[in-house]
Each structure stands twice: as C-alpha cells, then as structure tokens.
Structure 1
Amino acid sequence: MSRVFLATELEGVATFWRIYRRDGTTLGFTGHDRDLAFGGIVHRAAPGMLPSAIRRTAGLDGDSAEMEGALAHDAIDGEDLAAGRFDGARVEVGAVDWETLDHAVLYNGTIGAVARSGGAFTAGLASAKAALEINPVPRTSPTCRAAFCGPECGLSASRFTHTATLVSAEPDAARVRFDQAGDGASFVSGSLRWLDGPYAGMAMDIAEADETGGLVLDAELSDNLMAGTRAILREGCDHTIATCTARFANAANFRGEPFLPGNDLLARYPSS
C-alpha cells in the first residue's frame, strides 16, 4: 500500500484500530460517523473511543501510544476488562479513506496496563519494539527455564492435554472439578482453556489440587459457570530436575543448573 495520507488539503481520512484478543475475538473500531468494512473486518463507529498521538522513532526504544474509550460501547464492558479478556491483546492503529477504503496500519503493539475511571477506560499500548528489551542471554537458575511442552522441552503437548467436562464449581473458592481421568496433582502448575460458557476462549492457570480431585484456579469464577462446560486441561510441571527425571524421563532437555553453587556458598563455614 503506497497511499500517502493527508497529502492534500482536503481528504476523507478517519482513524481505525483493531483489537485481536487472545481468546480469538477480533474487534474493529473507527472514528468515522458510520461503520466501515475493509480488510475482512467490520469497524464499528465509536466516537467515544480515541487513540492518542502516536510517537514513532527510528531508535530501539519503544514507541508510545494510548487508547481511551467509554465502557458504554457494546463491544467493551467493565466485566470483560476485569476478567482480563483484553490483557495482552494485539492492537493495530491506522488511517483509512472512508470513501475508497484505502487504509494503512501506522502502529502495532499490545495492550499493557488498563485503568478504569468511572464509565471510561485507558489502555497503555506497548509497541512491537518492546520485544527488543528482552535479554536474549538466559540467566542461570536451579529450575528449568523451558516452557512445559515447548520447543526447548521437547515433550509432546498432545500427550499431556485432555478434553474434560465440568462436573461442579465453587466460585467462592475458585475450585472446579472435571470428569478427567488421572491424578489431579498432575495438573498443578498447568492450565486450562475454556471451550464454552462465560469464559469461552480464556485460559487460566491451575494453582492447587485437593485430595478429592478438585482444581484451584488463579482467577475468580462467575456464578454463571455451570456443570457441563467443556475445557481443555494441560498437565503441569514444577520445573525441578527431580520431576523432569522421575515423571517425564526428560532430563536430557532440562534447561537449568540445579547443581550450580548459589550465593549461600559464600556464607558457609567449616564445622567438625
């Protein structure tokens, strides 16, 4: 797209922005006074939502941007923000000619901190340059740094992934019970992804397991979570060399230094 916007004194240009949530939902908005459909996405007219000025530089420092809007819009409400549906969502901001629908993306980033004030919200955006701030050199650690079933781990994700149906839920305790087979302890430090229900598409971490097979999640649960809701459960790993060896027989791919002396070695003293 070689179109140069605002090259003449009078042009029909409007801003647009797209939000790609991690649960697979895509939302499109435009500052125009009517909906615009382009790029396979319908962009809803949202005069109450405004992107701030975008600062783009040639340096390696992250480009700053911000998005403000009203919670009254049908696509964004306070419950979704509180539930974390927009956390880490990918954002595109650009300009569109509302007559020809020629458009160009001016900014790519992800949603960072979200603040609420009354009936409005403010979301800080982190540009794609934020990935350059990550130190590529790993630090030593007694536990494994690899993601469980990730490329460095080497284990098959399908082997430790199970489709299950919710049997019961205790929202006050964030505890759920599924009909999955196996020991509930194997799911500690794992995760689940809801396939339907009020949290469809969302992922939650599994913090604990009790003796009755109940799983304690790291997020609050709604009273609308009913039995029969389907989810995909992923077993967990505590990233210790003992578990990697005894449970998974995968010590060859362990990404850690469990026998490296720590700083406490300096404080030791001889004893008889």
Structure 2
Amino acid sequence: MNEGAEALHEHLAGGIGQVARCWAVRRKDGVQMGFTDHDRNLTFAGITFRADTGLSARALQQATGLSVDNTEAMGALSDAAIREEDIAAGRYDEAEVTAWLVHWADVSARRIMFRGQIGELRRGAGAFHAELRGLTEALNRPVGRVFQKPCSAVLADATCRFDLDTPGYVYEGGAAQVEDQRRFIFAGIGSFEPGWFQRGRLEILDGEAAGLSGAIKRDRIEGADRVVELWEPIRASMNPGVLVRLEAGCDKRFETCRLKFNNGINFQGFPDIPEEDWMFVHATQAKNKTGGSRR
C-alpha cells in the first residue's frame, strides 16, 4: 500500500469520511480531462478535476480471479466538458480511465480504485453513459499466432517493422473535394500506382475532424483526379481542402510484402502452407507418385 493510500485509510478509520471520487480520462489523441463528484475542483497528479461537469458513477464491481471489473460513469453533455459531437466522432472510444477515492481536504490521501478503458458509450437526452472496462478485459481477447497464408501483422507494427515514413509510402496534402464524409478527391497525385493506398489508412490532420482516421476501401484514378473512398464515413464535418495523410495499404500477401514493401524477411504468414484440398486429396488421385513433394 502506498503512502497516499495509507493516509486515506487512516482518515477513513476516524469514522467521518471527507472523500470524493475523481476520474481522469485520456483520449487516444492525447487530450486529458479530469472530473469529480465533489462540489469544488480538486487538483493532483498534474490534473485539475472539475466539479461542474455533473459526472457521477455507479459503485465499482470487483471480483477476484480473471473476471472483468466494471462500472459506469454518467454525466451531462456540455461544451465545457464532454461534447456530443466528440462522442459521435469516436474520440472517446477506448480512452484510458483512472478513478481515485480522494480525501478532498488533503488530496495527497488518495487511492486508485479503478483503471481501465471506456467500452460502450451511449448518449441521449442531453446526457451520456459510459461503460468502463477493467484491465482484465484484455484477457478475453485471443492471443497467439494462427497458421495461415496471409500475414497476421498490422503494417508498421512491432512485428511488421516496416517504416511508413520511408519515401514513397505516405502522401500528405489537401483534398480538393470531400463527398459524404467518406469520398476524398485529390488533384495532381497520380505519381502513385492505382490502388497504392487501398487497404491503407487515411488520417485527418486539421480542422474539426483532426485526429480522426478511417480504413481505405478503394483507391483509383478517375481522369486527372485520384479518388480515395473509406469503408465508413469520418464522423465529423470537413471542408474542401482539408489536410489529410494517406498511408500505403497492404493486402497481407507475401508477394506484396516482398515486392511493394521490400519487407519479406518480416512476413508473419505462412505462404507455403498446403491448402485444405491438398491435404485431403486421395493418394491415387495424385499425379506424382514417386514419393517426392507434390509442389
């Protein structure tokens, strides 16, 4: 138990509790916000926890073993705190959350009660409800390698090791037109092969949608223009000329890894694994009966 937790324990042992709950929310874009259910602002750990946000929370459910700790935070939507358009844009998806129990008269006496991420987030009637998922949530996800022909890595991750900042794999510039928040039209970037960015990533670099991104569904040349279409629309408004970043796409094939990215040594698939029809073929139907390889 740390010193702050010991001080809080001593305070609670006195029988009169002057405690409040505080939450710190850190979004993936680096924005950090603090909230408290106390009637005045509290400051510690370099964060000011605001009291005027109307935030509250249900009692934390905790259990031993590997069950998921969970709770729910509720609050009013406001321009000064959590805005409805930011929720709609997905800026709070999987945001990190830390919750403390704090002696409000001496904030050095505090204890972390919860640490996790925002799961399902609902909004309506001027309020939001955020499901908070504990650190053990990650243990529900399957891990390990799968024996398959396609690569299991994500382009430029720790296993792929490709550097996307290599010249020729990224384009940054303004989109001449944006249609339905998912179709981006560019002029004068025909130097990349058609389909170069397909299965890649588009990130918004400025404006109201800055920091949001989407997966690229199609990348084709139409006359003098290049048209990049996303699988899902960006959930924020954008104006023509919005600055974007396009990242080359990978279809997970060994030929693409070797020829397009010159990264075959880090390929995380098994390109020579036999197909199912090969493994189940009857020996009498094989053309080569010498006992050697069929490949």
TM-score by length of 1: 0.88
2 CA distance for matches of 1:168 and 1:221?
16
- Decide whether aligned partners of structure 1 residues 4 and 262 sit closer, same or farther in structure 2, where only a CA change above 3 A counts: farther
User: What is the 5 A alignment of 1:50-199?
Assistant: 50-72=56-78, 74-102=80-108, 103-159=110-166, 162=170, 164-172=172-180, 174-178=182-186, 182-183=192-193, 185-199=195-209
**What's the Cα RMSD here?**
2.6
Name the SS for the 2:23 alignment partner: strand
SS in structure 2 at match of 1:214? strand
- Paired residues, what number? 272
Structure showing greater Rg: 2
Q: Per-residue CA shift, 1:63-98, capped at 9, x if unaligned?
A: 122222222463212221121111111111111222
- Using the aligned pairs only, state the percent identity: 31
Runs of 4+ in 1 over 6 A off after TM superposition: none
Out of 228, 248, 265, the position equivalent to 2:261 is: 248
Report the CA distance shift for 1:36/1:223 in structure 2 as closer, same or farther (over 3 A).
closer
Q: CA 1:137–1:67 in structure 2 vs 1: closer, same or farther (change >3 Å)?
A: same
CA distance in 2, matches of 1:184, 1:85: 31
The alignment's TM-score, normalised by the length of structure 2, stands at: 0.81
Q: Name the CA distance, whole Å, in 1 between partners of 2:241 and 2:144.
A: 45
Paired with 1:263 and 1:226, the residues of 2 have a C-alpha distance of 50
CA contact (8 A) 1:171 1:222 kept: no
Q: Counterpart amino acid of 1:238?
A: D
Output the CA distance in 2 between the equivalents of 1:31 and 1:131. 29
Q: Could you tell me which runs of 5 or more consecutive residues in structure 1 were left unpaired when the two chains were aligned.
A: none
Structure 1 residue 45 displacement after superposition: 1.1
Return the alpha-carbon distance in structure 1 between the equivalents of residues 185 and 48 of structure 2: 39
SS in structure 2 of the partner of residue 4 of structure 1: helix
Q: Which runs of 5+ in 2 are unaligned?
A: 288-295
Contact 2:195 2:219 in 1 (8 A): yes
Contact 1:244 1:251 in 2 (8 A): yes
**1:223 Cα deviation (Å)?**
7.8
